[in-house]
Amino acid sequence: MQVDVVGWVLLADGEGGEGMKKHDVAISVAEEDKEVAYAIAAQLKKLKVRYYYYDEHKDNWGKYLINLTMDAYGRHTKYVLMITSRAFVQKYWSGIERQVALSRLPQGDILQLRLDDTQVDGLSAHMIYEDWKDNPEEIARLLKEKIGRKKWLVWARLMKICTSLLVLLMAVMSWYWAYMWYYHRHFAQTYVLVAGARPFFISNVEVTVAAYREYCMLTHKVFPEQPIHSVDSMPVRNVTWEEAKAYCAYVKGRLPSELEWETAAQGGESTVYSGGTSAVNVAVYHKVKPAFVGRKKANALGIYDMSGNVAEWCEDWADSAKTMKVVKGGGYDSEVEELAVKSRREERPEARLRDVGFRVVKDQ
């Protein structure tokens, strides 16, 4: 006596997977044939299979029968066992249970146990589970095997999904680390020689969030809170002039003077912006946040972002009263005219500004 059911599925309906089910099997039977249901239920209980049969559930009292039917023969069961006979097709409520099951479950989850040859609408020949031969033990055992197979398929599918997600995650992480390697390989901070009457070296990129955080950790200083959207490869911001000067001293450097800054920005050329005459090509501006350092075109000396991205502290006082410091370069939120090499602004040295960072100069 073989099971003849086509198609195994993992979800009973759109409202949840196997973990949402209350019952492994729900039994639908006419009143006249309930002794068959009792016999099968007793064997299911011995096998520790969760089943639903209306007569045996104490929590049915006071509940709407249609709600119980919708739950037991739809959302909350893996399989429905329909014990069919001439009485089954004549009973009103058996018909309701059958329609609910057919409308809410895949056909392969509705199992027909025939007590006679009565044809039942909606239950085709390939859904016949087994003819009744007074063998509840065998039917219960076959049901348990079928349930176990479905659970295995659920776990297999979950494992497949998890494996796919893991492969995707590994691919994303591999791409990320490859990108970061490439980025740091090409845009790691180096020092560029600026020739002239008094030669000096200047960092090719602005001091980054990552570099300044490492400095704070090594010196036990408080890392200044960064504006939203800041990441390690962006220029550090919210750093006062004194803090920028202290960082430069730690790496055996200093802040550039205004003249040194302009000389490095020009790079031996006579352009409006550092790196060219087109602000779009050389500067990050009119944005809501800075970019990673080194994203735009460098100037002739290989120095990035001296126009745009973040403005930069200089060593010089901007006024004779020595209350304001020079800031050069314009930032990510600047107007285009503020990006010019000759443009300057004045800020209080104790100020923490969301669009101001700095770079380092060394004398040798």
Cα dihedral 228→237→202→210 (10° resolution): -60
DSSP string, 179-229: HHHHHHHHHS--EEEE-SSS-EEEESSPPBHHHHHHHHHHHTPPPPPPPTT
pLDDT at 222 over 70: yes
pLDDT tens column, 182-221: 555 555 689 999 998 899 999 999 999 999 999 999 999 9
- Adjacent-strand bridge partners of 276: 273
pLDDT tens column, 61-116: 444 566 667 766 766 788 889 899 999 999 888 888 888 888 888 878 888 899 99
pTM above 0.85, yes or no: no
Cα dihedral 22→25→31→35 (10° resolution): -120
pLDDT in the model for residue 128: 62
pLDDT at 8 over 60: no
pLDDT in the model for residue 40: 92
pLDDT band at 264 (very low <50, low <70, confident <90, very high): very high
pLDDT in the model for residue 105: 82
pLDDT band at 18 (very low <50, low <70, confident <90, very high): very low
Q: Report the C-alpha gap between 261 and 264 in whole angstroms.
A: 5
pLDDT in the model for residue 237: 98
Q: Report the C-alpha gap between 154 and 354 in whole angstroms.
A: 52
Domains of the chain as residue ranges with CATH = 18-157 (3.40.50.10140), 188-362 (3.90.1580.10)
pLDDT band at 150 (very low <50, low <70, confident <90, very high): confident
